[in-house]
Structure 1
C-alpha cells in the first residue's frame, strides 16, 4: 500500500546515509548511489502494463486531516512518464558523474546528498495528489537545485546563478501557493482529483481566474518561460551532470508537468489558452534567436533549452483547445498538440541530456567551452562527435531521429490551430505557424553551429590548454545510451506511443473520453507530401543559408537593446530591495533593547486592545470566579511587593532574587489551586532560571546609574501600564467571552480512555497536544545550539591560544568553585536523591504528577547544583557527555516515536497503550507515550546543560 511513499523516501534515506561512506575513500561515492535510482527506474518500468491498461495506483497516508492535508500519491499515465524520466536520467547522470567528478578534488558526498534530495523532491512533485504536499516538494526542488548550482561555491558566478535561480523560482512558487489556496477556498479540498471533479462549479467562481494566473506564474518561473527565463543561463555554472539532469530532463519540466496536470481544471478557458500558448510561442522564438549569438557551448544549450521548453509549453496551450469541443471529433483533432508535447518532452530529455554530456566531455578534454577556441575535434574524438551529431540532428528536427517526428507533429499542431475559430480570432491563428517555422529555422542554425564549429574545421591546438583526445569509456556510456534511444525512438516511435504517450494523454484529457475508450496514438515517418514536409524542407534550406552566413547577422545581441535588459532589471531590482530593506531595518534596529521592547509591547497593546474594544460581546465574566481565600491574598501581596522592588533594585543580584521570588509565589498559587504538575515545573524553572541569570550577568559590565529624562520615564510608565491592563482584560475576558465550550472537560473525560493516562497534564503534553511539545523541544534545541555558537564566536582566538600555550607549558588554569564544606557535603547526599526523584517523576508522569519535562528539569537542577558546588570541569570529567548530541538523540527518539504510528496506519503522533502481565511487576500498563516522553526528557536535559555549560564553562 505504501510502496509509492517508499519510492519517494529512498532518495532521502540515501542522502542521509551517504556521509557514512566517507570511510571508503578508495571507492567513488557514485558507485554506492547508482544502484538506487536504477532500481527505482526498473520498478516503475514494471508498472507500465498496469497503467497502460487504464489503471492507476493511489496511496494515502494521513498527515493533517483536519486541514485536508494528506500525503496522497497517484501513479497514472502522466506521473509514470515523469518518474521514468527522473529515475532513468538520474541513473545515467550518476554514472556520468562518477567519471566526470574527481574524487580527490571534489566534495562528492555533498554533491550526491544534494542530487538525491533533488531526485526525491521531483518524485514528490509528480506523484503528489495533494496540492499542499506538491508545493512542499516544489520548493524543496528549488532549495536542492540552489545547492547543486552553487556546488562550486568559491566561484562568484556559481553563487550568483544559484541565488538568481532560487529567488525567481521561489517567487513563482509562493504565487503558486496562493493559487492553490484559492482553489481550496472554492472547492474545499486540496486533492487534485477531487478538484477536477468540481470543474463545472469552479468556472463560475470569481476567484477562478486569479487562481489560474497565480498558478501559471509558478509554472512559468520554474520552466524558464519568458520573461522569467533569465535564471537558466546563469544556472549553467553548475557542474555539467547537474545541467544534464536539472536543466534538460527534470526541474525545468516541473512547470510543464503542472500545466499538464491542471489542464483538466483550466483548459477550456480562453485566458488559459492564450496565456499558455502565447507565452510558449514567445519563449520559443526568443530562445532560438538568443542561442545563435552564444559562444559558450553551455550557454548555447541553455538558450536552446529555453526555446524547447517554450515549444512544449505552446503545444500544451494549443492542446487545451480540445476542451472547447467536449465529446466531438474536433476535440480529438486538437489533442494532436498535447500528443506532440508529450512526445517532444521525452525526446528533448534524450537529445538535450546527451548534448549536455557531450559539452561536458569537450570541456573535460580541452578545458574550454568557447566556440572561438574549438574546432577540428572530429578526428580526435570520433565517438563524441557521433553522439553530438545524433543529438544536434535530433534537436534540429532531421530524420531519422526522434526529434524529427515530434517537430513534424509540432508543425501539424500549429497548422491545425488555424481551424480554431471559437474565439473569433481565426485570422490570428496563422501567426503560430509562421513563428513556429521561423523558430525552427533558428533551431536548425544553432544546432549546426554547435556540432560543426566544435568538431569540424581547423584544429586550434595553440588556443587549448592541453591536447584533446577521446573521452574514457565511463564518460561515454551515458551519452551513448541516450543517443541510441534517439535513434531507436526515431525508427520505432510507437514503442512510446502505446506504453507512455497514450496513458499520459488519458491523464490530461480524461474528460474527452467516454467510459471504456482510450486514445489511439500512432506516429509514422511518412504521410505523403504534406505541408509539414515542405515546411521542413524550407527550414533546412533557409537554415543552411543562415548557418553559412550567420556571423553577418547581428540580431538580438542584447535582450532588449540599449542599456535596458531583463538581467539588468533583475540586478537593479535586487539592489533596490537590498537598499530599501537596509534603510527600513536601520530605522528600528537601533541596538537598544528598550526600543525593541517598546515596538513589541506597543504593537501588542494596539493590536489586542483595539481588537477587544471593537469586538462585540466581550464580557469580563467576574461573576464566574470563585471567592478569594486569605492564603491567596497573602501570596498575591508578597508577589506584588517583590515585583514592585525589582525596578528600584540597585544591583542585578537583587533584581534576580526578587524575580525568583515572584516566580516562587506563582508556585505557591499553583499549590493552592491544586496543580502539582505546574507547581513542580514552575519551581524548577525558577531555580534553573536564577542560576542562568547569574551566569549570564557575570559577563555584563558593572551596573551604572543611568540618567533618564521625564520623557523616557513617562514612555516606560505608559507601556508598562498598557501591557498590564491589556493582559488583565484579556485574562478576564477569556472565560467570560469564549464562544466555545471549554475543551478541558474533553481532556479530563478522555485522558484515560484515549491515551491510557490519569495525569491529564502529561497526557495533553505527550498525546493530545503532542505537536506543541515536539515543536517546543525543537525550538529549545535550536536556541541552545545558537547560544553555544554565540559563546564560541565570542571567545577571543588570541586568548584561547594563550590558554592552550599555558596548558602545554604545564601551568595550571585554576577554575573557581565553591569552597563551602557544608554545601559540598550536602550536595553529595542531596544530588542522588534529586536524580532518583526525577526518575520517579519521569516514570510516574503518565498516571500521576510528573512527566518527561518535569523530570528533565529536576535532573538538570541536580547537575547544576553539582556544577555550582564542584565547578564546571568536574561535571565534564564526572559526566563526559556531549549534551548537544544528547539533545539530538532526544529529538530523534521523539520524532521516530511520532512517525512510528504512521507505519501502523494511524495518524502522526498517535500513541498506543495496553495492560501486560510482567514478571515480578504483575499487571502493568505500558504506553508508547513513554518513549515520546523519553525523547522529551533527553532533549530538555541536553538543552539545559548545553546552555549552562556554554555560558558558565568559559572561565
Structure 2
C-alpha cells in the first residue's frame, strides 16, 4: 500500500494538465484536493498500528541485480513526516485555491507541487539508498520549478537556480557516502545498514562517510554556511514557502540525520559536527532575522534558526534530546506554516510584504492578527500553556544542560552549549515580536497599494487549522505523545522514551533560561533601533551570498575562457581533440589491462583474391588523402566500402555483405549531396608542423584500431557468447541462419530501434531538402 501512497501524487501530476485545460469552470485545486487528504487519512489510520510497535514494509523490484528496489518502510519516524507532508500538503492546496487566481498557470503550479509531494513521501518512506537518492534529487528539481514558478522575475530565476545548485551538490555528496555505506555493509537497505552499525563504526572510512552524508543533510536543511539558498527561495508563491520551507523540503536533511542516528549518533565527531553547525545555524539565523524588512525574509531566517535548533538536539545524542527534536519538528511545522500563510495574506490584501510600510493591521485584519499572535508567540517560546513552541523550547534548554560527557572533547564543549542556546533563543524572541508588533500594531508606516481588509474565509481556514494545533498541543501535549512522538523517537534512538509532557516543572534551570530569554528579548526588541547599527560591523561587508555569487560568476568566466581556447571554428581542430583523446584513453586502457596480445592460433586461411581486395582497399584509402577534389575523394573512398562488402562475400557472410552494400551506397549518395554544395577544397600548402601532427595522429589512430581489432580477437577475458547463439538459435528462433536469428529474434528490439533511427534520419534529411528547395532555410 505504501507504494501507492507515493505514486498517487505523481499520477495526479499527470492528469492536472488535462483537468486545467478541459474543466475551466472550477479552480483546478478543488479537483485534486482529495488526493493529499486521502493520503493523510491513510497514514492517520496507521497511527494505532505503529504506536503498538509494528512496522510496515512494501515495494516493487527495480533493478534487483544491482540492489536497486523501490522498497518503502513505515515506522514512527517516517509516519511523522508522512503526516506532515500529506496533512500540511492538503492545507496548502486549499490555501492556494484562494491565493492563486484562476488565470495563473495553475497547470504548472499543481504539476510541480504534486511531483514535489510525491518525491518527499518517497524520501521519508524509502528503505533503499538508490530510491532515496532518486527522490532526494527529485525534491531539488521540483522545488527549483516551484521557486521559479514566476520565471519572468529575475529574482525567482536566481533563487531557483541557487537552491538547486546547492542542494544537488549536497545530494551528490550524500550519494557518495551512501554508496560507501553499501560497500562496507554489503546491502542497499537502510534498515540492514543500521543493523550493521558495528561494522560501520569500525570502518576506516567512517569519518569520510559521515562528512559526505552530513553535507547532503546540511545543504538540504539550510545549515550554515549553506543556508543562503533559503531566503532567496522566498520568491516562490507563499503556498510553496509554507509547504517546502517550513514543513517538508527543509526537513529532509533533518529526517536523514535522524534516520541514520543509530549509525553515527553517540560518536564524538557526530556530536561536534551536528551540534556545532546546529548551534552556529541557530545563532546566525536568529541574529540575521532581526535585520530583515520583508515578512517572508524574516520567516526564512527564522526557519534557518529553528532548523539549527532541531539539528543541535539531534547532535546531543541523548534519548531526551531526540524526543525534544521530534516534538519541535511537529511544533515548528504548525506555527511556521501558519505564519507563512499569514504573511501571504498580508501581502495578498495589502500589496506589500515590506514591514517598514506596514503597521496597524490588527483593527483591519483582526483574524489574521490573532493567527499571527499565536504563531509568533509560540515560535518565540513564550512560557504560556497555550503555545506549543514553549514546551519543546524548554526541552531544548533542559537537554542542553543534561549533556552526557562521555569523552574529554564533549566535556570541554558542553559548558558553552547552554549559553549559545540562550543567545540564539533571545534573538528568536526578538524577531518573533518584531514580526508581530511591527505588522499588526501601531500605525501604518507607508502608502499601501490597496486598502487593507480581512482575507476571505477560504484563505483563513488553513492557518486556523494549524493555529488550533498550536493551542491544543500546547494545552494537551500528551494527545500526540503516545501515537506520534514516542514511536518517532523510538525509530531514531532505538528505545522507547518514558516521557510525559507537562507544562510546569517547578523552578528549574530550564525555566530560568526561558525567563532570561524573555527579559533580554523584550529589552532588545524595545531598543532595536539603538543597537541595529551592529549589523554594519557583523556581518558588515562579509557575506556568504557574495562568496556564492563570486564563485558562480568565476565559474562562467573560467568556462568562457576555456571554451574560447578550443572552440576555434575549425573542424580539423575538433577532430584532432577527439582523436587524440581516443588514442590516449584507449591506449592507456590497453596498457593497463594487458591488451597488447597477439594470438595467431585460431585464424582462418587467407586466399589470394582476399589479398588483392585488401590491397585495392588500402590503395583507395591512401589515394583519398591525395585527391584535390572532394567528389573524387568520396568516389574513391566508396571503393573501400564496396571492397569490404566483397570481403564479406568471400568470408561467407552474404547478409553482412548486403547490409554493407546498402549502407555504403546510402553513405556515398549522402556525401555527394552534401559535399556538392560545399566550397572547393582548399589546396594551399599547410605548415610543416600541421602536416606532421596530421601524420602522427592518423598513423596513431590506424595503429590503435589495428591493435584493438587484434586484441579483441586474441584476448578472451570471459567466455564468448557466440557458442550460446550457435547452440540456441534454432531452438529459440526457429532458424539456422544464426545472424538472422540474432537480429530478428534475440536482438529484435535493438534492430527495431535501429530501423527507427534510420527512418527518422531519412525523414529529417528529406525535410531539410524540401525546405531548402522552397527557400525556407538559410
- Between the aligned partners of 2:582 and 2:73, the Cα distance in structure 1 is 46
- Between the aligned partners of 1:114 and 1:638, the Cα distance in structure 2 is 62
For residues 136-162 of structure 1, give each alpha carbon's deviation from its aligned partner in whole angstroms, at most 9, with x where no partner exists.
221121111111111111211111111
Instruction: State the match for 1:826 in structure 2.
Output: none
- Per-residue deviation, 1:49: 2.2
Structure number with higher relative contact order (C-alpha < 8 Å, ≥ 6 residues apart): 2
- Between the aligned partners of 1:437 and 1:60, the Cα distance in structure 2 is 45
Asked if 2 retains the 8 angstrom alpha-carbon contact of 1:852 and 1:937, the reply is no
Name which of 377, 381, 385 aligns with 1:393.
377
Instruction: State the match for 2:515 in structure 1.
Output: 537
Name which of 144, 147, 153 aligns with 2:145.
147
Asked if 2 retains the 8 angstrom alpha-carbon contact of 1:692 and 1:948, the reply is no
Paired residue total: 770
Does structure 1 residue 497 correspond to structure 2 residue 481?
yes
Name the SS for the 2:202 alignment partner: coil
- Between the aligned partners of 1:714 and 1:112, the Cα distance in structure 2 is 62
Name which of 742, 759, 775 aligns with 1:941.
759
For residues 737-760 of structure 1, give each alpha carbon's deviation from its aligned partner in whole angstroms, at most 9, with x where no partner exists.
233222333444456778999876
Instruction: State the match for 1:63 in structure 2.
Output: 62
- Per-residue deviation, 1:181: 2.2
Name which of 118, 121, 140 aligns with 1:120.
118
RMSD: 2.5
Asked if 2 retains the 8 angstrom alpha-carbon contact of 1:695 and 1:952, the reply is no
Name which of 128, 131, 142 aligns with 1:130.
128
Name the SS for the 1:224 alignment partner: coil
- Between the aligned partners of 2:58 and 2:423, the Cα distance in structure 1 is 46
Instruction: State the match for 1:898 in structure 2.
Output: none
Asked if 1 retains the 8 angstrom alpha-carbon contact of 2:742 and 2:748, the reply is no
Name the SS for the 2:480 alignment partner: helix
Instruction: State the match for 2:776 in structure 1.
Output: none
- Between the aligned partners of 1:559 and 1:633, the Cα distance in structure 2 is 85
Instruction: State the match for 1:367 in structure 2.
Output: 351
- Per-residue deviation, 1:425: 4.1
Asked if 1 retains the 8 angstrom alpha-carbon contact of 2:733 and 2:745, the reply is no
Instruction: State the match for 2:467 in structure 1.
Output: 483
- Between the aligned partners of 1:580 and 1:412, the Cα distance in structure 2 is 51
Equivalent residue runs for 1:335-484 within 5 Å:
335-398=319-382, 399=384, 400-417=386-403, 419-423=404-408, 425-460=410-445, 463-484=447-468
CA shift in 2, pair 1:53/1:608, >3 Å: same
- Between the aligned partners of 1:24 and 1:348, the Cα distance in structure 2 is 37
Name the SS for the 1:37 alignment partner: helix
Name which of 231, 234, 241 aligns with 2:232.
234
Does structure 1 residue 570 correspond to structure 2 residue 548?
yes
CA shift in 2, pair 1:425/1:851, >3 Å: closer
For residues 626-679 of structure 1, give each alpha carbon's deviation from its aligned partner in whole angstroms, at most 9, with x where no partner exists.
112445334434433443333234443344444444334434444544556645
Asked if 1 retains the 8 angstrom alpha-carbon contact of 2:595 and 2:711, the reply is no
- Between the aligned partners of 1:80 and 1:936, the Cα distance in structure 2 is 47
CA shift in 2, pair 1:707/1:519, >3 Å: same
Asked if 1 retains the 8 angstrom alpha-carbon contact of 2:596 and 2:707, the reply is no
More displaced 10-residue stretch of structure 1: 295-304 or 39-48: 39-48
- Per-residue deviation, 1:470: 0.6
- Between the aligned partners of 2:675 and 2:29, the Cα distance in structure 1 is 52
Does structure 1 residue 42 correspond to structure 2 residue 20?
no
Instruction: State the match for 2:745 in structure 1.
Output: 846
- Per-residue deviation, 1:947: 4.5
CA shift in 2, pair 1:941/1:852, >3 Å: farther
- Per-residue deviation, 1:521: 3.6
Instruction: State the match for 1:252 in structure 2.
Output: 250
For residues 414-443 of structure 1, give each alpha carbon's deviation from its aligned partner in whole angstroms, at most 9, with x where no partner exists.
1111x5243354353122111112222211
Does structure 1 residue 74 correspond to structure 2 residue 78?
no
CA shift in 2, pair 1:74/1:456, >3 Å: same
Instruction: State the match for 1:110 in structure 2.
Output: 108
Instruction: State the match for 1:719 in structure 2.
Output: 697
Name the SS for the 1:70 alignment partner: strand
CA shift in 2, pair 1:530/1:163, >3 Å: same
CA shift in 2, pair 1:750/1:340, >3 Å: farther
Name the SS for the 1:739 alignment partner: coil
Name the SS for the 1:393 alignment partner: helix
- Per-residue deviation, 1:213: 0.7
Asked if 1 retains the 8 angstrom alpha-carbon contact of 2:16 and 2:110, the reply is yes
Name which of 627, 642, 653 aligns with 2:631.
653
Normalising by the residue count of structure 2, what TM-score does the alignment of the two structures yield?
Answer: 0.93
Does structure 1 residue 743 correspond to structure 2 residue 740?
no
Name the SS for the 2:374 alignment partner: helix
Does structure 1 residue 595 correspond to structure 2 residue 573?
yes
Instruction: State the match for 1:921 in structure 2.
Output: none
Asked if 1 retains the 8 angstrom alpha-carbon contact of 2:9 and 2:115, the reply is yes
CA shift in 2, pair 1:852/1:127, >3 Å: closer
Equivalent residue runs for 1:676-825 within 5 Å:
678-679=656-657, 681-697=659-675, 700-749=678-727
- Between the aligned partners of 2:663 and 2:737, the Cα distance in structure 1 is 20
Structure 2: state its 5+ residue gaps.
774-778
Asked if 1 retains the 8 angstrom alpha-carbon contact of 2:29 and 2:110, the reply is yes
- Per-residue deviation, 1:468: 0.7
Asked if 2 retains the 8 angstrom alpha-carbon contact of 1:853 and 1:940, the reply is no
